Structure 1
């Protein structure tokens, strides 16, 4: 039989693979655009740098307007410094923090010249140099500060936004898909739970009539054949009572069970005594632990938990083996530990969590629901925990149930 859990897992991996392809394609295409825009901006910066050189060189009067037009066409922030790092010209920066006149205006007192925010310029320069290598232009005009100038320029806001855009876009899509998946998954689980609850209650109702008939037939056999003490009829009676318990379990699914204070040892012992005579005599059972520990238990449902664990242990044992149930308290005695240990084939460590998922099974005819139901009954109905405490391939497995101790 195909495993629905494995099929679901494959679909998840397949969808994740296609999502990664889409995300990767989006990032690669965006990087391609960023690279081309950055190249275009550097070309414009180089043209602007050459225009600055022409401004401070001797030019024909007819060419001057064209040079100024080229110079003013730069759309990215830029700073020009000389080879010593002194500021010369800036463009596209915050006008409230920048003011550079080179050369100083004739007839204006130098002390009255507006100044610029040095720290602001230094921060902008550091940002520009971290983004692009400065463009070097040779200056042959005496008195302008050195033999060459450096043009530092910054990415345009458009290019910066384009770099960030795919990550913002993918984040929004991821959040939307997560919320949508959670909503649909919750809705689907709710519908499935309603179906299972309805099916369970209908099963309990259908079992009621034949169970009542079987009880009546057993009483008739006792009186007709005078077999009140016959051990076979006694075992038949026990099995019919077990059917009553099973029907009661199904009727309780979907409703909040009533938890009562019971001795954990005695509850487990009653079921182990019933179960051991119904499996191979090659498997031995051992029950140990504290007899006085108590917890809030719904006996029909908790018997189901122990039954599923014992059946799982029996199926794991190939040939002779043993099953041990140990009941102990935590160090603070706030919790009760119930350890079910078998000498079966064991569970790989990678499957410690997977075994509790619906549909997971290693048996050809299994449905993979036993441990899933067990986990639900322990955690949802008894406010406890269940997990694989330890397992080794070829040697056996220990499941641990944790309940709240009631002193």
Structure 2
């Protein structure tokens, strides 16, 4: 993520402050965990002391309210008490565990790793050994820092994508502004060319020259119209997809190298589709020119129109070097280009025109060393 240079100092300060706050929270959590663990240890040592006195009492002796109170209050810490005769007493644990000695042994090993066992002694004699684990609250607290870090990472990811989305939006506005300004700048010399061409028609020159200039002027007007529509919601109207595709095909065929072989085939003579003609023709031209570039100016370009249910497919194929499969989706990303010259905007604009404006689909249908087939799918207007 690229930050504005003017804001680098404040961004760095914010990053340092965030890191300090997170570190402080984690340190406090760790300190609280250790303190809570020490308190549980003290509680268990008191319980063990009470148990020692209780085991040393005569059979008919009254244990006293204090001992009973201590035993009753411990309801959260899981314990296993192993007496000197190897009898076992389990507290605050599932009842099913009491009957399974193998599970009890595993629990004793687990508790021994979590906390140091407490030996219950009386007059130098070991009456029992107390094994205890972490309470449910302590276990939850142990994983709190991990949960906190995950939340912070999630929050950071959201912030990153917000910045990235905002940056992309700004870039889109910039490209739209540049396109509109380009259209505006082209308008002035274009008007002059129209006047000069009309003047040429009055002179004694070959009328075919003026006719061809008219075609190119019309082409410049079309390009100007396309650029002026970038960033604006285009107007769609019912058009014949066969005719519109053929017009774009014919224009490119007449102005391309003689080493390029063009072919056009449609399975239908007429197919109504809601289109913006200028933007659709631009898309076809982009795909055809990309194919010509991939063939290095020598090869075959084929355009085919195929109805498919409620959709119509337009296939543009070339005999170029192909596109690696891993790049099938990334080629539509702004800036993605394999050319030494170019901004990598052609296919990204084509995708936007087809999918956002015409609600269709565009994709690489197939590609290999023998060539590439691009597919546009549009809804038929019925």
Is structure 2 residue 380 aligned with structure 1 residue 405?
yes
Q: Extract unaligned runs of 5+ from structure 2.
A: 3-18, 58-66
**1:198 is matched with which residue: 177, 180, 184?**
177
When residues 198 and 318 of structure 1 are mapped into structure 2, their CA distance, relative to the original with a 3 A threshold, is closer
Deviations 1:77-135 (A, max 9, x none): 14345555555xx5xx6xxxxxxxxxxxxxxxxxxxxxxxxxx7527978993992465
Return 5+ residue gaps in structure 1 as ranges.
6-21, 60-67, 94-119, 142-146
| Whole-Å separation in 1 of the counterparts to 2:154 and 2:363 | 31
**1:50-65, aligned counterparts within 5 Å?**
51=49, 54-55=52-53
CA 364–220 in structure 1, closer or farther in 2 if over 3 Å, else same: same
Report how far residue 31 of structure 1 moved. Answer: 12
Cα-to-partner distance string for 1:146-194 (whole Å, 9 max, x where unaligned): x986645231456423432233212321332233233333333333333
TM-score, normalised to structure 2, is 0.73
For residues 50 and 166 of structure 1, the distance between their equivalents in structure 2, rounded to whole angstroms, comes to: 31
Change (3 A) 1:390 1:30: farther
- Partners of 1:326 and 1:224 lie apart in 2 by 43
Contact 1:34 1:159 in 2 (8 A): no
Q: Does 1:310 align with 2:288?
A: yes
The correspondence of residues 37-186 of structure 1 with structure 2, limited to 5 A, is 51=49, 54-55=52-53, 77-81=77-81, 83=86, 85-87=88-90, 90=91, 121-122=94-95, 129=107, 132-133=110-111, 151-156=130-135, 159-186=138-165
* Structure 2: distance between partners of 1:130 and 1:363: 68
Residue in 2 that maps onto 1:367: 343
Give 2:355's aligned residue: 379
Aligned mates of 1:131, 1:360 — CA distance in 2: 59
Distance in structure 1 (CA, Å) of the matches to 2:374 and 2:48? 78
Supply the distance in 2 between the matched residues of 1:380 and 1:170 (Cα, whole angstroms): 38
- Measured in 1, the distance between the counterparts of 2:330 and 2:288 equals 19
Provide TM-score, normalisation by structure 1: 0.69
Using a 3 Å threshold, how does the CA distance of structure 1 residues 151 and 287 change in structure 2: closer, same or farther? farther
Q: Sort the Cα spacing of 1:364 and 1:226 in 2 relative to 1 into closer, same or farther, 3 A.
A: closer
Aligned partners of 1:378 and 1:384 also within 8 Å: yes
Query: In angstroms, what is the RMSD of aligned CA positions?
Result: 4.2
Does the aligned pair in 1 maintain the 2:226–2:279 contact within 8 Å? yes
Q: Does 1:353 align with 2:329?
A: yes
Is residue 278 from structure 1 mapped to residue 255 from structure 2 by the alignment? yes
Provide the secondary structure at the position in 2 that maps to 1:364: coil
Shift in alpha-carbon separation, 1:316–1:51, aligned structure 2, 3 A: same
The yes-or-no answer on 1:299 pairing with 2:299 is no
Where 1:312 maps in the other structure, the secondary structure is helix
Out of 245, 254, 279, the position equivalent to 1:268 is 245
Question: Alpha-carbon deviation of 1:390?
Answer: 1.0
More relative contact order in 1 or in 2 (CA 8 Å, sep 6+)? Answer: 1
